Every structure is written in structure tokens, then in C-alpha cells.
Structure 1
Amino acid sequence: MSIQPESRFYVTPFNTPPSQPDARPSQRRYHYLDYKPPGGVEQKAAVLVLHGFPDFSSSWRNIVSPLTLAGFRLIIPDLLGYGLSSSPPTSKAGAKSSGGGEPRLAEYGGKAICTDLDGLLDHAKAGQGALYGSQTVDKEGRGGRVIVLGHDWGSWLSWKVGQWLQHRVMGIAGLCVPFAPPTPEPVSIDQLIKFLPNFGYQKFFAEERSTKIIEDNLERFLRLVYTKPGLFSGPDQPTKGELEKARGWNLEGRLEKLLTDPELSKLDISKVGSCILDERELQRYVSVFRSRGMEGPLSWYRTRMINFQEDRDLKESGLPASLPALLLTPSEDVAVPASMSVNMPRRVPSVNIVPVQGSGHFVQNEMPNVVSTEFQRWVEDKVFPSERNASPFSFKGWLTRSKL
């Protein structure tokens, strides 16, 4: 069954980011897809679905049908810097090429984007007409509550939504990226890599010069990032030398060399592993990122100090035990190893951590059936019972609708 979304746009009010209150007020446009359950299927709840890097709303194409048929409305934005959403310039060169003005990196801060998403949910009238989450909707359709599902940076943002917009959230499900508590002092990228060498690629992304390098080698970059896990997943068996050249692309300095080094740039990526995206989808990704540029997507890696500044306003360092949480941890994720989630229950007491064997980082596309099944199971087992227990009104509605 083909389920067609509404393609909609939300424009923020004029405001300034919380970490830069003296900045000139600006607006941002967000494009989002709105998938509703087909006729005859009751809407159980709305889900705010957040993609990661390098991706856009299309990231969730393989789980749309099972979740909408199960009664979930999916609100899927292109996040700031991606797809058809605004991409505020963050470098002086970017600001100049976009018509002047100052760089606007602070607009990519987690709290700032949560503020934007709060308005987007009201624009979409999220929760209206749903079995769960509609009890707080006002006459204009604002104030509804949602479940949040995110991957990669979208997973990181999902936990931020839980911190900044807790009143709008029924539960949070993250793919790959665990909750990270705010730090008492700023942590530099070099300090981070010292403890997490697998984040070495982030140092390259954090440097403005990476924008042009990746844009100049865009298709090769996407093929590298979207390579299936397993060194023998490609159509041809690589030589030992080819394996050594491609191994550890996520470590510091390796990704840049694979893109620019005259010797390494000759390596046929398809020998190392086949691409998660089929050729048609890959070329669509190339077209989208080539037309919009990479400065916006890479800007998320350049906000360490901004997020530190915003996080100082948080009243709690974790999430409440009453908030249902789910984290799926793929076993073959080299960018975000499953071991990173071991301490998460200390800050998110309710979290269910579910390993996904045999999948790499893009688990929603590598194993979409596992993602949709585990998400639905968690919602039915944890989120909906929590809602029924918390609200007598909600329980009465559930009792009536379930015909008990």
C-alpha cells in the first residue's frame, strides 16, 4: 500500500537563539512530511521523527508503511540545514554568498532547534484526534503531545526534546546515539577523541574546511558513509591492501585521506562493501546535498560551545524515571559503538536498551522491520500503559475505545 504524505512548511516567528540573545532576530523555514494512518485505521499517537547526518526526511522511507498502518501519524521534518528546510549560513564565506549578514551558527543549538520544533508541532496540530496525546490540545490544535523517534543527530536531538519540551513528550526512542548528560565544563573535540577514538571523524567535520572537501567529493563521501557493515559485503572480494586502506575511516584523519589522498582516492569503495542506498536513491541523495551544499549539515558538528552554553540552563542533568525511553544499539556501528550506552541508565532510569545484531549505523534502513517491530512493542508495553496510569481521563478514553 502506497501511503502519500502531506508536504508542509512551517516558518518560525522572529526570534534569537538562547545562546546568542543579542543577535538580530531571524526566521527559519522547516519543511516536513506528514504521514497519517490510512482510512479505517484509528490514530493511536503522533510521532515526531528526526533524521541524522548525512540524511533528510527520506531517511525514514522504509518504516513509514508499517508504522502508519499500525495507527501512528508520522511528522518528519527536514532538520535545520537539510533538504527543503532553511540552511542558515555559519561561516563568513557562507554568509557572504547568501547575500550578506552575519554567520548564524547559534541557530543550530539544541535548545534553539527544540524551540523551533515546539512551534512546528503546533503548526502540524500534533496530537489532535489521536487516542493518546490529544488531551492537552487546545481549541486551535496547539499543545498536543507526541512520541519522539530519532536517529544519529536526530537521536541526540530527541533526548534534548525530552529535556527542553518535556511537557510535550510521551516517550523517546533513539537509534544508535545514547543520552549524553550536560558537562560541568566545556569538552573540546580533542578531549572527546582521547576518550572516544571512534569520534575522530568529527574533528574533520568540525573544521570549516571540511565543507568544500566533502562537496568536491560528495558521491564518494556518501558511498563511504553508507557502506554496509562487514568488510566482505561488496560484490568483489577486496585484497588485503585494499582492506587496510579502508579500515578505520572513522578514526582521526582517515576520512579526509580517503577523500583527498591521491593513492587512497583510487580505492574502489564498492570492493570494500556494498552501498546501503540503491543507485537511484544514492543519486537522489547526491542531488539533494549538491543543490543545498554541506555547510548546513556539517554545522551541527560545530556547535559544541553553543550547546554547552544552552545546557547550563537545564534544571536536571537527566530524564525523569516516569518518561519511557528506548535505545536501539546496532552491533556493527563503528561510528557509535553499542558500548557507549552502558552508563545511560544512570541518567535515564526508564530506558530499555535493545541490541540489534548484524546492523550498522543506518539501522532504520538496514533492518527496518526490526526498528518498526521494536518501536511498536515498546510503545504498547511502556508508553501507552504509562499514559493510562498517569491520566484518569486518558484511561477512560482508552476504556471506551477498546470496547471493554
Structure 2
Amino acid sequence: MLASLQPIAPEGDDRIEHKTAVLNGNTYHYLYGVPKGGKFTNTVFLIHGWPDCSLGWRYQIPLLLEMGFRVVAPDLMGFGGTDAPKVPPNPINLYGIKRASDDIAELAKVVGVERIILGGHDWGGFVVWRCAQWHPELVSHVFSVCTPYTPPHKDYISLEDLVKGILPQFAYQIHLASGEVEKSVNDERSIRQFLKGMYGGRGPNGETSFDPESGVIADNLPKIGESRLLNGKVLDYYVKEYSRHGIHSTLNWYRTRKANWEEDLALLDKKTLSIPTLFVQATYDSVLKPEMSASMEAFLPNLTRGEVPATHWALTQKPDEVNTIIKNWLEDQAFGARRSSL
């Protein structure tokens, strides 16, 4: 990454604008940036995960702008400046993958683009794979950091059965969906402690606030110290954004497994994605482990793989390495100058 490419600041950064748009009846907040001079030939959409927001791409947006891309990074439903409709009375599908895909397609119309390059991380990774299937006319290329591609399944497997079987490290999702987390993460102070812990902060004796096989460890939240990955003004921004709606709406994403499966049934004949794809594995991800991506080539004939020595927070923990992989892949796809020095 070029030394001059500083991460996007949460406020007062002239490289991006904070915008809003009504998409299929709900208001979304998104970051919007164009290269210096205003000229661009392609548009990249960046989709975040949990517990994150559009600013989670703060190290990648400058690179993409420098390469000549326009960048659009929305807050997903229930996050940050985007609406957080209550469930009930609203259906949980509002927090599902198909709805997110449809809203991305609507946002593309708002910014006036017919084809996009689509990048995702964590939940955003799940979204971008499916968005390319729901809207093949829109998505020309897909890249995902940490989140492997999984095809639609004919048979429903509950989260509980998945945890008992091949993915015990997904047990935290049962806790996140349970309604228990909201009892301990319910004000600005506890949100701050929660975010510090999720991004690697520890207590004085090494206490952690999250375990993949149990979830959020409420008793440890008050003990958590500073995080190297999320601190200062960026942490303040995240706390403010998560305090808008509280944590509950963001956890609705973990209550959509059956709804997502039901909607996926329409994609059973679209399991193969033939467009160019990139998957960036974080080798130390304790949830989205490397072995989960083993069979992706069977469904992604145009797959490129990259790897970074990072935990789940690769975007901010190893930004130079992630950016190099994304940059080289985009150049290989004939976007921008080939192999210019980083």
C-alpha cells in the first residue's frame, strides 16, 4: 500500500461523503468516494460484517480510489446510520441475504451504475456471493475476505445441528441469536467495552470477551482494556454508530438461518458462479477456518486465492497484505495499471 494512503477518517475526510438513500422502503447510510478529478470507469461496492460498519473498509477505500475506482460502502440493515426495523412486526427477512442483495441492486440504480465489482467481509462475504447469484446482470466480479463460498442447499440444517456436527465454532451464533447479549450490551459504556473486546482487547489477566464456542462473555466485559485494532476516534465513531439502535438489530442477522435457506431454494440451479472471483483467507480466523474453503473450486471456476497471516479482522490487522492481494487481482482483471509498485 502506498505510504500516502492513510485510512479513511470517520469524520471530516474529504475523500468520502456520507450519504443516504431510500432503498426498497428503508433508509440506508453509505460512504461514497470518487477518485481525485472525479473520473472513474468502474464502481466497487464494499459490504461489511458484524460487529462492523461501512468504515470497516477504511484501509481499502483509499487504495481503490487511488486505482481509479468509485467506491460505495453501505451500512447493512440494522447497522449504523441505516434503518433498523423492529422484528416483529416486520419479517426477519429484512435482515436476510436476499433483501441485502436486492437493496444493493437498488443502491446501484441510485448511484447510476449497471455493473459493479462487489467485495465483502464476514456477513458481507455471505451477501456478496449470493448477490452475484440473485443479480447476475449487476455483478461482474466478486471478492470476499475471510468468508468462503457455500452453495445453496436443498436440505435445511439447523444451527444447532451444524454446531453438533462439522462447525462447533459456530456455537457463538446460537448465543448471539438468543436475546441474551442485549442484557449485558445495552448502553454506551457496555457497547464500548463490547467493541474493544470483539476487536482483540483483553483484561489485565488476559481475559477475553468472546469465545467461538460460547459467545459473548458478559462477566469479562468490564475488565477489557484497549484494542490495537479499534481505538481512538475510530472507536468513538463505532460506539456512536452502535448506540443509534443498540446491539439488538445487528444480531437479527443471526436469526435468519431458516429464512435465508428458504429463499436460497430459488438458487439451487445457480450454484456455480462463473464470473471472476477472489477469496482472501485469514489463516488465524478462529471461526471461518481455512478448511471451510477447501471445495470452492468446484463451484467457482474463475477463482483466485490469496492468504494473509491474520485473524478475522484481516482488513485492519493486515491492511497492506490484503490490499496487495486485492490490487493484484484487480490488475489481473485488466482494471488499472498492471503491477504498479505498492
Larger Rg: 1
Residue in 1 that maps onto 2:212? 250
| Contact kept? 2:152, 2:268, Cα under 8 Å | no
Q: Which deviations, in whole Å up to 9, do the C-alpha atoms of 1:62-94 show, x marking residues without a partner?
A: 222221011111011111111111111124xxx
Following TM superposition, by how much is the alpha carbon of 1:279 offset from its aligned partner in structure 2, in angstroms? 3.0
Alignment map for 1:1-400 (pairs within 5 Å): 3-13=14-24, 27-39=25-37, 42-91=39-88, 102-126=89-113, 144-194=114-164, 195-215=166-186, 217-227=190-200, 242-243=205-206, 246=208, 249-252=211-214, 255-256=215-216, 258-260=217-219, 264=220, 268-270=223-225, 274-321=227-274, 323-357=275-309, 359-382=310-333, 384=335
Residue in 1 that maps onto 2:9? none
Following TM superposition, by how much is the alpha carbon of 1:42 offset from its aligned partner in structure 2, in angstroms? 4.6
Aligned residue identity for 1:179:
Y
Amino-acid identity (%): 29
Secondary structure of 2:333 counterpart: helix
Aligned residues: 323
Give the Cα–Cα distance (whole angstroms) in 2 for the partners of residues 325 and 305 of structure 1.
27
Residue segments in structure 1 that go unaligned for 5+ positions in a row: 14-26, 92-101, 127-143, 229-233, 386-397, 399-404
| Contact kept? 1:51, 1:154, Cα under 8 Å | yes
Following TM superposition, by how much is the alpha carbon of 1:203 offset from its aligned partner in structure 2, in angstroms? 0.7
Give the Cα–Cα distance (whole angstroms) in 1 for the partners of residues 244 and 20 of structure 2.
19
Aligned residue identity for 1:269:
I
Q: Which deviations, in whole Å up to 9, do the C-alpha atoms of 1:313-335 show, x marking residues without a partner?
A: 115342333x0001111112112
| Contact kept? 1:6, 1:33, Cα under 8 Å | yes
Residue segments in structure 2 that go unaligned for 5+ positions in a row: 5-12, 338-342
Give the Cα–Cα distance (whole angstroms) in 2 for the partners of residues 294 and 246 of structure 1.
19
Sort the Cα spacing of 1:362 and 1:265 in 2 relative to 1 into closer, same or farther, 3 A.
closer
Aligned residue identity for 2:252:
S
Sort the Cα spacing of 1:190 and 1:116 in 2 relative to 1 into closer, same or farther, 3 A.
same
Aligned residue identity for 2:103:
D
Secondary structure of 1:167 counterpart: coil
Following TM superposition, by how much is the alpha carbon of 1:218 offset from its aligned partner in structure 2, in angstroms? 2.0
* Worse overlay, 210-219 or 345-354: 210-219
Following TM superposition, by how much is the alpha carbon of 1:208 offset from its aligned partner in structure 2, in angstroms? 2.6
Following TM superposition, by how much is the alpha carbon of 1:297 offset from its aligned partner in structure 2, in angstroms? 0.8
Secondary structure of 2:132 counterpart: helix
Aligned residue identity for 2:135:
L
Q: Which deviations, in whole Å up to 9, do the C-alpha atoms of 1:95-149 show, x marking residues without a partner?
A: xxxxxxx1331211211221121111000112xxxxxxxxxxxxxxxxx101001
| Contact kept? 1:324, 1:383, Cα under 8 Å | no
Give the Cα–Cα distance (whole angstroms) in 1 for the partners of residues 297 and 105 of structure 2.
27
| Contact kept? 2:279, 2:305, Cα under 8 Å | yes
Secondary structure of 2:127 counterpart: helix
Sort the Cα spacing of 1:187 and 1:315 in 2 relative to 1 into closer, same or farther, 3 A.
closer
Provide TM-score, normalisation by structure 1: 0.74
Q: Which deviations, in whole Å up to 9, do the C-alpha atoms of 1:24-74 show, x marking residues without a partner?
A: xxx2111111100111x7524100110111111111112222210111110
Secondary structure of 1:332 counterpart: coil
